[in-house]
Structure 1
């Protein structure tokens, strides 16, 4: 699957210039813009910064015909095509999606690296979309990453600060942050483990467990630092608020019984912890047997079972069982008398309902043209929650 890319250009003041002739890219993922920058340079000799998605015609955010807005400091020598694009303001537009926004962020990041005696020699734009803008900065002192996130993910910096004190060996190092969504993060070697086999997920779960155990004593500190509080008392109201305006009629019985269900979960005896919130293998980097959990923007304080349920998502039942069994054994050792298996069974539909609420929050917090990235996600997870809630036989009796 490939992308057919149209790149509409503006100058630093946001004045429309026209569009480069379209070109195809083998890389299908819309948010990955490094290939766009490289191909525009190769084909047309132009240095472009991609600001944001304008349109995409595929049912999922990959492949098809895609139009982006890019900024250039100087008009290219290649004749530009006429381009009719909507450049009207949007109150939810990310700062890094505006002309001049990336330059301001890079000025901050390169300044911080100079302060740390790690000057950057090259900068490479990697990704930009409604959840983050990411740049790679390389220099003689190594590689660092500039990550800028929207308001609903700004607690990631607080989580990384805590992790740097509590679990520095298995988490990214925060080098600097500006309190306004910009973070400078040290490079983590290895590769993202999308599609990792069950044997590796067992190792990921084992490596991650001490982080959650360590966080038990610090949940109040984390909440005070701005990490969302989605413990049992807060979660039902948070879900209701995020899903207001969406068609939740099919899952209304689940929502109505959520407080009672969470009381049962509380009775299973596991403590509240830090929760990564999106612990699929693609958010784990592996290098020489070491696993580092990255991308903490979805983190919250709540029940630890949410993370193991995300980690086993997509595995066949036979592969899920050993991951949950080992996870349960570790928690029984930490909290004698607890019932991890029942907690997992009770929370399975709640985990899907929470993800529906997360995507609703994202959709309500991003500009209109970028909502295509998540257009089907709320309904997908509401349907999954409904199906899981109907499988009551999966909940062991107490």
Structure 2
């Protein structure tokens, strides 16, 4: 279907007008680099997308017609002809991401520029916006020593820099290099290559084996969220007893509550509680054919590592899944003799979905209403996915 865009543009908070509809190459709503580029060409000045306002006809985070609020960083040389209603743009919301507000975005970019200047590598050109949504703001800053990536995350995200540092002490090549970190933000060195969605067998095996080896030795960083069995089981029960449970039938709720009782069975498989990535799919690995680097630790927590084994398996093409399962199980048996990783995968499959349902509800509880379309039905859909694997 593809994505078309209308941008409601302001400068210094004052309305300028609407640009669009226009088509962009990428279908994903959060990928706004092409949107900012089109607006820059249209208006003759740098423009950054602040936030999503509404979506028509799209679903699953992609496609449809998307309306954004965008900010021109300088007075435009060409003013949009179509006027806009400023009332909705000026309204604030307590859950709005800092990078979705003009003042917050300026502060964030200023912080990055100051850090890089102090390090002797000031930005040599305008910032390039790549992604903005309720889970992250991602920007690329050019420097003479190579590009730097700025990532900002919401209050419900894990402190990524702390997790990266914990793994870097064991295997520096496993994780990105952090230049600097602040409150819910960090600057990262550029990683060459591409995301490993179509990972080869050697890349899959390398990523899984090195990740498991690090998990067996890592010391959990301070402040890591607790997702161990008693904690996550209680949170699933609370989810099922709340509004999400109200969307299920009585029979579905009963089966889901029965599944929660399996968490002690998962613990009996002998896998240790450790730092779990939380979203360990190949799209969060980056490489150029050699051992990949693992990225995006916003969902990291202390818990059972079966969640990572399930995640990598489920995101690979059907024909490559046995490679990941075998590598993951063999690695855990090697590092933890006597454990039962294959049994953990079988027991953990529905439990993993229940854990993700809780996480998706955290997203919904932590973001402003216009952004909830990204995750709106995810908790109940994911609970039902767990039931299909009961």
**How does the TM-score come out when normalised to structure 2?**
0.91
Answering whether residue 239 of structure 2 is matched by residue 235 of structure 1, we say no
Match of 1:150 among 140, 150, 154: 154
Q: Structure 1 residue 238: deviation in Å? A: 2.8
Answering whether residue 131 of structure 2 is matched by residue 127 of structure 1, we say yes
- Report Cα offsets for 1:176-217 as digits up to 9, x if no partner: 1122x11111211110012435564333212322221222xx
Asked whether the equivalents of residues 250 and 386 of structure 1 are also in contact (C-alpha less than 8 Å), the reply is: no
The answer for the alignment partner of 1:169 in structure 2 is: 173
- CA spacing shift, 1:79–1:262, aligned 2, 3 Å: closer
Unaligned runs of 5+ in 1: 390-398
- Report Cα offsets for 1:247-269 as digits up to 9, x if no partner: 25554345534564121222111
**RMSD after superposition:** 2.0
Distance 1:264 1:121 in 2: 56
The answer for the alignment partner of 1:252 in structure 2 is: 253
Answering whether residue 191 of structure 2 is matched by residue 192 of structure 1, we say no
The answer for the alignment partner of 1:274 in structure 2 is: 275
Q: Structure 1 residue 337: deviation in Å? A: 1.6
Asked whether the equivalents of residues 191 and 285 of structure 1 are also in contact (C-alpha less than 8 Å), the reply is: yes
Q: SS in structure 2 opposite 1:333?
A: helix
How many equivalent pairs are there?
381
Distance 1:316 1:97 in 2: 35
Q: SS in structure 2 opposite 1:233?
A: helix
- Report Cα offsets for 1:27-48 as digits up to 9, x if no partner: 2111111111111122332321
- Report Cα offsets for 1:213-253 as digits up to 9, x if no partner: 222xx23xx2xx11111112211123334563212555434
Distance 2:8 2:112 in 1: 27
The answer for the alignment partner of 2:263 in structure 1 is: 262
Q: SS in structure 2 opposite 1:234?
A: helix
Distance 2:124 2:231 in 1: 46
Asked whether the equivalents of residues 230 and 238 of structure 1 are also in contact (C-alpha less than 8 Å), the reply is: no
Match of 1:107 among 110, 117, 121: 110
Answering whether residue 309 of structure 2 is matched by residue 308 of structure 1, we say yes
**How does the TM-score come out when normalised to structure 1?**
0.90
The answer for the alignment partner of 2:212 in structure 1 is: 209
1:1-398 equivalence runs, <5 A: 1-12=1-12, 14-57=13-56, 58-76=58-76, 77-84=78-85, 86-87=88-89, 88-122=91-125, 123-179=127-183, 181-196=184-199, 200-215=203-218, 218-219=219-220, 222=221, 225-241=222-238, 244-247=242-245, 249-257=250-258, 260-315=261-316, 319-389=320-390
Q: Structure 1 residue 118: deviation in Å? A: 1.9
- CA spacing shift, 1:327–1:60, aligned 2, 3 Å: closer
Distance 1:257 1:345 in 2: 16
List structure 1 segments (4+ residues) > 6 angstroms apart after TM superposition. Answer: none
